[in-house]
């Protein structure tokens, strides 16, 4: 899904015209002359199952557009190992399910390969520490595709938040994914949760721009729809006037509908993060996302649905669009090109890697110019703590004992505070 919308088009643009043209979107256009001659080439694509031939279709599409380039299609449970051994890339782009990021990253680093990975970096703090340590040992770069950091609306508000609004008392952030993500697109939804999957974006934005450190976590969640999907998909089909067989997946899906997380930071600021992946298909936008910052002198809010682009089309209804994320533009005689903060995030990681590999700069000197693995360590710690706390609170609530569990985040550990534990 995400490859077709953002990753693939971004790399086709980079193969055609290099990286220099994308640097304005990340405030690094002064480096355009230095990287203008760098040729970017996709050498291989790998997917787990050969049954639907996805990797082959992607490789064929690239070679159709670039007939002088060879792109190899590979398959397997550990397909990245074959790519690292046989194709020997400079960069491995990891776009596997949430719970399968860590091993490809570690194997790539051991092979001397820089990495760009989809978010979240991983799901446990121990994995994050292992990735950071190995990247440091090898002097390599691990970039994380945290594209909300590059959203121009969000970026403008967050960069000026403390100057305009004063000390920040509270942040409220919402990101809700469509129902099809958890029921149709991702067969691995049971291995993750909506907070890990998209809540990480807002955590990154808050941590990066406000320079705060999480110190305590409270979390609860709901399991009403997906856990009983074997029953509810029938009712949803009835309400839509369709046959239940239109749903590819019809059995119970043992994961969260939504997760709500409250984080207390070292400044005393509170962050409230609300995430689900059951937003109805009938909702006006591809996702529902908003962030609001409350300071002692003022407040700001960015709401995707209030950016002003709405369409009403027969057969599609009234919809809001977000071309700031992944818009397309094409001029006569040219190719369709992608613009927006989805591409900008990838460009930031590529630029850091090129500066290390070709311009001789160290990863330490580049810190802060791209979403680093180290910057995601606190994000992952909150994700891990929230997963543990939400599950315990869910079990206690089902037993009629309230939601008493919280977590204290130390620099090196997570302390779960459970008054009912022995």
Summarised one tens digit per residue, pLDDT across range 221-259 is 999 999 999 999 999 999 999 999 999 999 999 999 999
166/288 Cα distance (integer angstroms): 28
Checking phi first, is residue 7 left (phi over 0); if not, alpha (psi -120 to 50) or beta?
A: alpha
The residues spanned by each domain of the chain are 2-148+326-372, 149-325
Locate 106 and state its tokens. Answer: 């570690």
Please say whether the beta carbons of 418 and 406 come within 8 A: no
The whole-number pLDDT of residue 333 equals: 85
Q: E-assigned strands of 123-245?
A: 142-145, 168-178, 214-222
134-187 confidence digits (pLDDT tens) = 999 999 999 999 999 999 999 999 999 999 999 999 999 999 999 999 999 999
Four-way CATH pick for 2-148+326-372: 3.40.50.970, 3.40.50.720, 3.30.465.10, 3.90.600.10: 3.40.50.720
The whole-number pLDDT of residue 2 equals: 82
Number of other CB atoms surrounding residue 398 within 10 Å: 9
Locate 57 and state its tokens. Answer: 């279709």
Q: What is the mean pLDDT of the chain?
A: 96
pTM to 2 decimals? 0.96
Locate 386 and state its tokens. Answer: 């929230």
Four-way CATH pick for 149-325: 3.30.360.10, 3.40.50.300, 3.10.129.10, 3.50.50.60: 3.30.360.10
Locate 178 and state its tokens. Answer: 């469509």
197/99 Cα distance (integer angstroms): 10
13-67 confidence digits (pLDDT tens) = 999 999 999 999 999 999 999 999 999 999 999 999 998 899 999 999 999 999 9
Burial of 105 from C-beta contacts in 10 A (0-12 / 13-18 / 19+) = buried
Residue 176 pairs in a beta bridge with 276, 288
Instruction: Please report, for residues 121, 315, 420, the alpha-carbon distance to residue 95 in angstroms, rounded to integers and kept in the order given.
Output: 11, 33, 40
Locate 144 and state its tokens. Answer: 């994380």
Contacts of range 27-33, beta carbons closer than 8 Å, 24 or more positions apart:
28/348, 28/351, 28/369, 31/351, 31/355
């Amino acid at each position: 899904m995400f490859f077709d919308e953002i990753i693939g088009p971004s790399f086709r643009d980079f193969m055609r015209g290099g990286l220099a043209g994308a640097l304005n979107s990340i405030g690094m256009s002064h480096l355009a002359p230095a990287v203008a001659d760098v040729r970017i080439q996709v050498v291989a694509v790998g997917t787990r199952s050969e049954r639907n031939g996805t990797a082959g279709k992607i490789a064929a599409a690239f070679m159709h557009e670039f007939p002088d380039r060879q792109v190899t299609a590979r398959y397997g449970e550990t397909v990245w190992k074959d790519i690292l051994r046989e194709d020997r890339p400079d960069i491995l782009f990891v776009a596997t399910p949430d719970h399968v990021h860590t091993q490809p990253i570690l194997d790539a680093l051991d092979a001397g390969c820089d990495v760009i990975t989809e978010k979240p970096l991983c799901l446990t703090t121990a994995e994050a520490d292992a990735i950071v340590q190995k990247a440091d040992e090898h002097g390599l770069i691990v970039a994380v595709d945290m594209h909300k950091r590059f959203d121009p609306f969000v970026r403008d508000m967050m960069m000026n938040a403390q100057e305009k609004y004063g000390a920040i008392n509270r942040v409220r952030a919402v990101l809700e994914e469509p129902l099809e993500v958890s029921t149709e697109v991702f067969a691995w939804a049971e291995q993750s949760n909506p907070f890990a999957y998209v809540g990480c974006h807002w955590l990154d934005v808050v941590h990066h721009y406000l320079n705060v450190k999480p110190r305590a976590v409270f979390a609860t969640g709901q399991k009403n729809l997906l856990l009983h999907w074997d029953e509810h998909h029938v009712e949803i089909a009835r309400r839509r006037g369709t046959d239940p067989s239109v749903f590819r997946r019809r059995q119970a899906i043992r994961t969260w509908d939504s997760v709500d997380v409250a984080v207390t930071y070292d400044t005393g600021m509170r962050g409230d993060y609300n995430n689900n992946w059951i937003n109805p298909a009938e909702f006006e936008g591809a996702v529902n996302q908003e962030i609001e910052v409350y300071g002692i002198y003022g407040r700001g809010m960015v709401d995707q649905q209030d950016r002003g682009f709405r369409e009403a089309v027969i057969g599609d209804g009234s919809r809001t669009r977000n071309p700031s994320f992944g818009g397309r533009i094409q001029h006569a005689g040219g190719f369709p090109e992608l613009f927006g903060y989805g591409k900008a995030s990838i460009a930031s990681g590529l630029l850091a890697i090129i500066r290390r590999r070709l311009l001789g700069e160290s990863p330490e000197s580049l810190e802060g110019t791209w979403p680093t693995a180290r910057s995601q360590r606190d994000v992952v710690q909150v994700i891990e703590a929230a997963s543990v706390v939400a599950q315990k609170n869910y079990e206690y609530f089902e037993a009629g004992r309230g939601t008493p569990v919280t977590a204290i985040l130390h620099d090196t550990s997570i302390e779960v505070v459970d008054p009912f534990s022995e």
